[in-house]
Chain A
Amino acid sequence: GQQVMQIPQYQHVQEGEDFTTYCNSSTTLSNIQWYKQRPGGHPVFLIQLVKSGEVKKQKRLTFQFGEAKKNSSLHITATQTTDVGTYFCAGPAGGGADGLTFGKGTHLIIQP
């Protein structure tokens, strides 16, 4: 079945440094979604990318969808303590079915 791999698993940064997480799929994706989960919380939708090569920005967050629609990245500029959490990418489960296949997530730890 389809697999979505995400790296790194953990990322420690100093507050103010940049952060990037990468997502790779074994198959071409029709779209990719990104979620953030705070410690003890539930996943919260951040954004959806649909077009090949698409780039979207949300304040300090930049999301990219690869040209081949098999990879994606999330970049955070000048991290803040509020950015702490786990960032997940997710693609359609595949086979025309609904449901999402999630990556294992990147845990962002920020040291003040």
Chain B
Amino acid sequence: KAGVTQTPRYLIKTRGQQVTLSCSPISGHRSVSWYQQTPGQGLQFLFEYFSETQRNKGNFPGRFSGRQFSNSRSEMNVSTLELGDSALYLCASSLSHGLGNTIYFGEGSWLTVV
């Protein structure tokens, strides 16, 4: 069974640009969540999607957005990139939403903003 797949794995963007990251969850998983990981702030929750609906959003500015498609694949977008957006962006999937569901992380997308 394939794990959570994230693309691209590495990318470099310039300040002011926008970026779209993609996540394919484990087959059968309907919940997808996104996290940002930086050395200073650690792992921070961005948002979670279930059945194409955003169920919850972390404390990030509106430049961070996401969506989920009918096949459970998800994308996140960051507009007007800032240097501080450089981070590892992790996608995680689980069978369903709600507490107690084990989440499985992908390998992440390393974003560098210059």
The answer to whether A and B interact is yes
Alpha-carbon distance between A31 and B99 when the two chains are bound, in angstroms: 8
What is the interface size of chain B, counting residues whose CB is below 8 A from a CB of the partner? 26
- Counting chain B CB atoms within 10 Å of each CB, the highest count among A43, A98, A100, A103 belongs to A98
- Counting chain B CB atoms within 10 Å of each CB, the highest count among A93, A103, A105 belongs to A93
- A16-57 CB mask vs B (1 if < 8 Å, else 0) is 000000000000001100000000011111001010000000
Q: A1-B59, A93-B58, A97-B56 are in contact. Are A102 and B43 (CB under 8 A)?
A: yes
In chain A, positions 77-110 with a C-beta closer than 8 Å to chain B are 88, 90, 92-93, 97-105
Q: Which residues of A contact B55 (CB under 8 A)?
A: 97-98
CB nearest to A93 among chain B residues: B45
Q: Which residues of A contact B50 (CB under 8 A)?
A: 98
- B15-48 CB mask vs A (1 if < 8 Å, else 0) is 0000000000000000101010000001111011
In chain B, positions 86-114 with a C-beta closer than 8 Å to chain A are 90, 97-100, 102-108
DSSP class of B's interface residues: helix, strand, loop or mixed?
A: strand
CB nearest to A99 among chain B residues: B45
* Cβ contact within 8 Å between B43 and A88: yes
DSSP class of A's interface residues: helix, strand, loop or mixed?
A: strand
Alpha-carbon distance between A90 and B107 when the two chains are bound, in angstroms: 19
* Cβ contact within 8 Å between A103 and B90: no
Q: A98-B55, A99-B48 are in contact. Are A45 and B106 (CB under 8 A)?
A: no
* Cβ contact within 8 Å between B42 and A42: no
B111 to chain A, nearest CB (A): 15
Q: A98-B48, A98-B55, A99-B33 are in contact. Are A48 and B100 (CB under 8 A)?
A: yes
Q: A43-B90, A97-B55, A98-B33 are in contact. Are A92 and B42 (CB under 8 A)?
A: no
Contact pick for B99, options A41, A92, A102, A105, CB 8 Å: A92
Residues of B within 8 A of A (CB): 31, 33, 35, 42-45, 47-48, 50, 55-56, 58-59, 90, 97-100, 102-108
10 nearest A-B residue pairs (beta carbon): A102-B43, A99-B45, A97-B56, A42-B105, A104-B42, A98-B48, A43-B105, A98-B56, A42-B107, A99-B56
Q: What would be 12 A-B contacts, judged by CB atoms less than 8 Å apart?
A: A42-B108, A43-B105, A45-B104, A88-B43, A90-B43, A93-B58, A97-B55, A98-B48, A99-B45, A100-B45, A102-B43, A102-B45
